[in-house]
Structure 1
């Protein structure tokens, strides 16, 4: 949808909203001056909940989430919020082939928390929304587009934080069952049981299970996901609270191939993996089906020791194991292990003329554990917080090979080493074989000062050190890697309450990001060193500022935030083809400056009805030429990649107690895919729709809902985002006269239309 079509409609909606502000005030003036009367309607969907933090924060809550398709993941659910640019490859949010940017900052720049515990991968900083808690168990998803809280256990969070808060267990025993059927043979069941308060213990808990299966919306294949969420909660005294929450995910999902521009023009949505297998075919869909199992545990604790002193502690734990496989071919001879030539042939089942199609494995085993403890002391106008953060993680990465049967089915889709192809002397044949240990330590000190009843000033300092030690198990010149860095992160904020309705805030925040672990290791091909690992890469460091205004009214609320960023050693996420496997990596883009405006409005003209509008203007430019080989690309002044200048969303919700529904329109402007800005994707719009009926009182008194969700209703055939950026798509002459060859970026294909019906029954 063109911007020229959208903007008049945006003005048509926002202008009457702005005119209604004095109308509401006038209505109050007409009443008896001795009577205080509250007019208006509270936010029925919690699309713009009240905020007092001295930074930009947006959120969605239960009343909005339960009207959306229950298959949607957390990234898809926040798509309407300011600055959120979500690239979804499938309508149901099951595939790992998706991305999100905030204010033009990528997925590896966004800290993700669940119940205060980090969900990001410590090695590559990515978080995978298909693994998060089921939507039925999420109470709120908040999006802080700029500054992470000082006690948040995250690194690489210049793009802000996405925080999931799980629903508390119910006080009364009960349960919930959701049954869903939809397009592409979508079938999902969700069941939750609440214990209610257990005897006189004061404890209460819930546990839920979901099973989801859907065919790929394009190409052959299907996705499966089983998921368990649970939470145990105890509350006592005045404000004391302890809980433990876990989320277990077991999934086998398909990878959607990302086309280049030429592929898209030639094949469109038909650019897919092979539906059937033939000898020598490395693009058969079963070779690209990824199994993963993950467990996330969070245990937040809040104790009020006395009127002046509180203690907060959040312990957390992660386990993960999975494979991102791909199809490739091996020969029985001419192989290398690192830089070592294998003189003896390897055994390849099914080889023809010494060549066999095999499953290339990119397996990862992750472990992460940590703890954040914070003391808060109140004395007069001061609220002083101090705390410590410790985090330990290991990442075992192996790129091995597994035999494929005559029907194209892998002997083992998980990539286990005992079933993988071995060298003649019994060693694992691997293109990559390494283990990385990461230790993060942090401390923070902050003071929130109530200068006057209306004016508050926050100051703080956070210090974070990150240590990586690794082992490269491949024969060659590199055996161990080591990098140790420290970042000093001061911050300050001001909040001023103009009156009961209006707030002003401003903040200045610093962030840092160390290069991901992939950059530390050598890469070998054909016995030769093709990429040398280094510990000399500089940390990204950013300085950001926000200046904002909020109005919280009885029928109208809105916020407007101006922001500015300056980056040194800006690290941009991309995907590299590492021997056939798509591996997350980063490019140092030098300095970058970004500034812009975020805004959101929530208008509630009648009970049960709301109109929500959000928008962003973003100016993001590169300040340096990009170093490529021994030359420099003339990139100074170019647009930053995957950073649309304009985007906005329009949502409506309705619920009269019997009928309910919602609409969600999102427009995202042009996005550049290269640092040279010589390739881009056009702006596009998507539209989601839901309609439903509350059946409580028709069948019995229990809550029973029937709803129909249409995802991407208009079904535009578009590229929805940049999957793998490149420095330049066309050949370019560098500053020093060298011809720098172009490389084609790849893209996410916007998902097709899907319709899903859900029957929800509480008991």
Structure 2
């Protein structure tokens, strides 16, 4: 079927000539929009998004695209415990933009998809698996770029209401209001509000999320436009515990936090609820200054505050603040025999602002671009402690300092306490040259500097820290249009990533420095190449891309247990080489029908032994962690104007969790289904849909991804003869089956 004739042609006489009319079928699934960029790019559009469960976050939505490996802990995408890797590169190596503004954590690079815009407001999600655009305001995006584009306000006033209910007491309300064009101003706006709540699908607890999106748009003249987009998120979500392989074999999905509080226990579920509030502003502007010159700018502003708490115990005596011993007892409400169970806080407060601007000049065969990027942010991280009552309920879940436990002399009792100012600056120049009407050459250069000034507020040998780095990033690409439907492209690009903020600071335990902060770690630097082919037909479209990467100082994201709190960190894995193939096909055999297939083959190998405790693990030649050799996806859609439905099947191969390849998780598959009916015309002419989504319908009991990456799970003899003790990695438990019904009504 996939190789069948994609179209038919009808001859017609026209002034003595022959007019060839090609009749095909548009893409109803929205999974393979036409692309012309000289690099691998995949995307999903609103046609696909509107058929999915409205609770899904951006990571879950791109799961079918080639190279995207998504691990989620809950079916509704509410929990912050999730992961996205592409071509074996972790989420801290994937840049994320929304309306052109960066969404990655300024200190640790990861992004949090549960905070992004509601799916009803997203027009397209684009996934660039390799190099990012030269003007993208991100650092460390060696793994590619995920970009969300919000829907524009509609020219006519109206409203949209979505009501959803589902498994695990899922309840969601979404309301969007469009102003239409406001008088003679030319302004259009929309604002939306959603409220989502669901019980944890395993264990005790529940998730809550309130979200507001808004956009104000003005368009005028020949393509000029300016807009302001706002996205506000207020959520309180549960953390799911991540088992080791032994935990999983012993307890399976029963590996959860306690449903009831027992005095002295630190595993009560209420001690692991994370509250977060974030607000993002983005103001993209496009101005056509004359027929040859355009100006583009995106200014952004972000605020965020939240807590990732955990249960722990403190004693009234024997405490330290950094390296300083506290000689006076600490007052701990509820202490029994000098010991109290408390809430450990991992609080973060971030403020970020920036702007990326460029001028583009078309001069004959050349399209010249030059631009600047400036980005400044502050990250305040504190690990403090808060009392709980006799029922195990925290006095304050946010970890505010005015309610936290203090020393006898009034200082904040903290395990970590630092503030970092991060300044990113960049410039870029590029030239796109039309060598012939069909052959194009792109040349570009980007220079990026990363400056971190920090202060460690804990007593000890460290006070001020400073890290300053610059990277030169050249690139080139070739694009050849074989004919109106076929394209060839090739590119070579460079990327870098500075070590995360966490590596700068000393770590303390028992009054001793147990880990030294350093500014001597080297940047990860990568050189990548792609060679690709695209065919864009009326009923059949496909692309195939071969890729190759070479990394120096490969930084691999992991999570460490820092005094009970799970903290993002990185491991330097040395040199690595990766290569493989990405492919995707979209076949539309009839109107309203679409079949989409994607796949990836990935060969990722470590080139160096891993230094551990003064010795070297024999990791040279081992497979890279969290890098499945094969992935496949199959998606189908049917929509005849009355009935519609879709399927989404994804298979992910075996993934290693240690650099020694001595522990792994098996391959697994998931299947999502949707069925619905368009009700417009039965009641009135307004759009009205009823649909049922089945998420992970086959309900496989699997580990879906690696959360904590380890060097070796088993005791291993190093190159120099030292026995290097093993440590068990931890994993994400794949989410369970869920059903959600949605009634969507436009007014």
Q: 1:684 aligns with which of 668, 671, 681?
A: 668
Shift of 1:112: 0.1
Q: 1:207 aligns with which of 183, 191, 203?
A: 191
In structure 1, C-alpha distance between the alignment counterparts of 2:504 and 2:633, rounded to whole Å? 40
Q: Does 1:109 align with 2:93?
A: yes
Q: Which residue of 2 aligns with 1:476?
A: 460
Decide whether the 8 Å contact of 2:10 with 2:21 is kept in 1: no
Q: Does 1:224 align with 2:205?
A: no
In structure 2, C-alpha distance between the alignment counterparts of 1:274 and 1:463, rounded to whole Å? 51
Q: 1:704 aligns with which of 688, 692, 712?
A: 688
Q: Classify the secondary structure of the residue corresponding to 1:512.
A: strand
Shift of 1:30: 7.5
Q: Which residue of 1 aligns with 2:715?
A: 731
Q: Does 1:53 align with 2:37?
A: yes
Shift of 1:42: 1.2
Decide whether the 8 Å contact of 2:10 with 2:22 is kept in 1: no
Q: Which residue of 2 aligns with 1:666?
A: 650
Decide whether the 8 Å contact of 2:490 with 2:529 is kept in 1: yes
Q: Does 1:420 align with 2:404?
A: yes
Q: Classify the secondary structure of the residue corresponding to 1:435.
A: strand
Shift of 1:28: 2.8
Decide whether the 8 Å contact of 2:474 with 2:494 is kept in 1: yes
In structure 1, C-alpha distance between the alignment counterparts of 2:746 and 2:282, rounded to whole Å? 27
Q: Which residue of 1 aligns with 2:257?
A: 273
Q: Classify the secondary structure of the residue corresponding to 1:562.
A: strand
Q: Does 1:28 align with 2:9?
A: yes
Q: Which aligned pairs between 1:598-609 and structure 2 lie closer than 5 A?
A: 598-609=582-593
In structure 2, C-alpha distance between the alignment counterparts of 1:235 and 1:740, rounded to whole Å? 63
Q: Classify the secondary structure of the residue corresponding to 1:349.
A: coil
Q: Classify the secondary structure of the residue corresponding to 1:297.
A: strand
In structure 1, C-alpha distance between the alignment counterparts of 2:660 and 2:319, rounded to whole Å? 38
Q: In the TM superposition, what whole-angstrom CA distance separates every residue of 1:538-561 from its partner, at most 9, and x where no partner exists?
A: 000000000000000010000000
Q: In the TM superposition, what whole-angstrom CA distance separates every residue of 1:649-704 from its partner, at most 9, and x where no partner exists?
A: 00000100000000000000000000000000000000000000000000111100
Q: In the TM superposition, what whole-angstrom CA distance separates every residue of 1:136-175 from its partner, at most 9, and x where no partner exists?
A: 0000000000010000000010110000000000000001
Q: Which aligned pairs between 1:444-523 and structure 2 lie closer than 5 A?
A: 444-523=428-507
Q: Classify the secondary structure of the residue corresponding to 2:290.
A: coil
Q: In the TM superposition, what whole-angstrom CA distance separates every residue of 1:607-629 from its partner, at most 9, and x where no partner exists?
A: 00000000000000000000001
Q: Which residue of 1 aligns with 2:290?
A: 306
Q: Which residue of 2 aligns with 1:756?
A: 740
Q: 1:628 aligns with which of 583, 594, 612?
A: 612
Q: Which residue of 2 aligns with 1:567?
A: 551
Shift of 1:429: 0.1
Q: In the TM superposition, what whole-angstrom CA distance separates every residue of 1:109-155 from its partner, at most 9, and x where no partner exists?
A: 00000010000011000100000000000000000000100000000
Q: 2:320 aligns with which of 336, 339, 362?
A: 336
**Structure 2: gaps of 5 or more residues:** none
Q: Does 1:181 align with 2:162?
A: no
In structure 2, C-alpha distance between the alignment counterparts of 1:528 and 1:576, rounded to whole Å? 19
Q: Does 1:579 align with 2:563?
A: yes
In structure 2, C-alpha distance between the alignment counterparts of 1:373 and 1:142, rounded to whole Å? 21
Q: 1:390 aligns with which of 346, 358, 374?
A: 374
In structure 2, C-alpha distance between the alignment counterparts of 1:168 and 1:24, rounded to whole Å? 33
Q: Which residue of 2 aligns with 1:355?
A: 339
Shift of 1:202: 0.3
Q: Which aligned pairs between 1:395-414 and structure 2 lie closer than 5 A?
A: 395-414=379-398
Q: Classify the secondary structure of the residue corresponding to 2:621.
A: coil
TM-score w.r.t. the length of structure 2 is: 0.99
Q: 1:137 aligns with which of 107, 112, 121?
A: 121
Shift of 1:29: 7.7
Q: In the TM superposition, what whole-angstrom CA distance separates every residue of 1:300-348 from its partner, at most 9, and x where no partner exists?
A: 0000000111000000011100000000000000000000000000000
Shift of 1:34: 1.4
In structure 1, C-alpha distance between the alignment counterparts of 2:387 and 2:34, rounded to whole Å? 57
Q: In the TM superposition, what whole-angstrom CA distance separates every residue of 1:22-69 from its partner, at most 9, and x where no partner exists?
A: x347x4387778132112101112210100000000000001000000
Q: 1:297 aligns with which of 256, 269, 281?
A: 281
Shift of 1:383: 0.3
Q: 1:720 aligns with which of 704, 707, 715?
A: 704
Q: In the TM superposition, what whole-angstrom CA distance separates every residue of 1:430-475 from its partner, at most 9, and x where no partner exists?
A: 0000000000100000000000000000000000000000000000
Q: Classify the secondary structure of the residue corresponding to 1:707.
A: strand
Q: Classify the secondary structure of the residue corresponding to 1:263.
A: helix
Runs of 4+ deviating beyond 4 Å: 29-33
**Structure 1: gaps of 5 or more residues:** 1-15
In structure 2, C-alpha distance between the alignment counterparts of 1:646 and 1:133, rounded to whole Å? 31
In structure 1, C-alpha distance between the alignment counterparts of 2:317 and 2:193, rounded to whole Å? 49
Q: In the TM superposition, what whole-angstrom CA distance separates every residue of 1:391-433 from its partner, at most 9, and x where no partner exists?
A: 0010000000000100000000000000000000000000000
Q: Does 1:551 align with 2:535?
A: yes
Q: Classify the secondary structure of the residue corresponding to 1:264.
A: helix
Q: 1:594 aligns with which of 551, 554, 578?
A: 578
Q: In the TM superposition, what whole-angstrom CA distance separates every residue of 1:253-284 from its partner, at most 9, and x where no partner exists?
A: 00000000000000000000000001001000
In structure 1, C-alpha distance between the alignment counterparts of 2:301 and 2:75, rounded to whole Å? 30
Give the length in aligned residue pairs: 744
In structure 1, C-alpha distance between the alignment counterparts of 2:569 and 2:11, rounded to whole Å? 63
Decide whether the 8 Å contact of 2:10 with 2:20 is kept in 1: no
Q: Which residue of 2 aligns with 1:17?
A: 2
In structure 1, C-alpha distance between the alignment counterparts of 2:213 and 2:634, rounded to whole Å? 32
Decide whether the 8 Å contact of 2:294 with 2:359 is kept in 1: yes
Shift of 1:290: 0.3
Q: Classify the secondary structure of the residue corresponding to 1:108.
A: helix
Structure 1 vs Structure 2 CA RMSD:
0.8
Q: Which residue of 2 aligns with 1:616?
A: 600
In structure 1, C-alpha distance between the alignment counterparts of 2:288 and 2:222, rounded to whole Å? 7
In structure 1, C-alpha distance between the alignment counterparts of 2:582 and 2:201, rounded to whole Å? 33
Q: Does 1:524 align with 2:508?
A: yes
Q: Which residue of 1 aligns with 2:49?
A: 65
In structure 1, C-alpha distance between the alignment counterparts of 2:539 and 2:42, rounded to whole Å? 18
Q: Which aligned pairs between 1:29-44 and structure 2 lie closer than 5 A?
A: 34-44=18-28
In structure 2, C-alpha distance between the alignment counterparts of 1:70 and 1:518, rounded to whole Å? 35
Q: Which aligned pairs between 1:147-162 and structure 2 lie closer than 5 A?
A: 147-162=131-146
Tell me: CA distance 1:24–1:716, structure 2 relative to 1, closer, same or farther (3 Å).
Answer: closer
Q: Classify the secondary structure of the residue corresponding to 1:28.
A: strand
In structure 2, C-alpha distance between the alignment counterparts of 1:558 and 1:30, rounded to whole Å? 27
Shift of 1:85: 0.1
Q: Which residue of 2 aligns with 1:345?
A: 329
Q: Classify the secondary structure of the residue corresponding to 1:95.
A: coil
Q: Classify the secondary structure of the residue corresponding to 2:263.
A: coil
Q: Does 1:371 align with 2:355?
A: yes
In structure 2, C-alpha distance between the alignment counterparts of 1:251 and 1:185, rounded to whole Å? 17
In structure 2, C-alpha distance between the alignment counterparts of 1:600 and 1:30, rounded to whole Å? 32
In structure 2, C-alpha distance between the alignment counterparts of 1:300 and 1:191, rounded to whole Å? 25
Q: Which residue of 2 aligns with 1:253?
A: 237
Q: Classify the secondary structure of the residue corresponding to 2:23.
A: coil
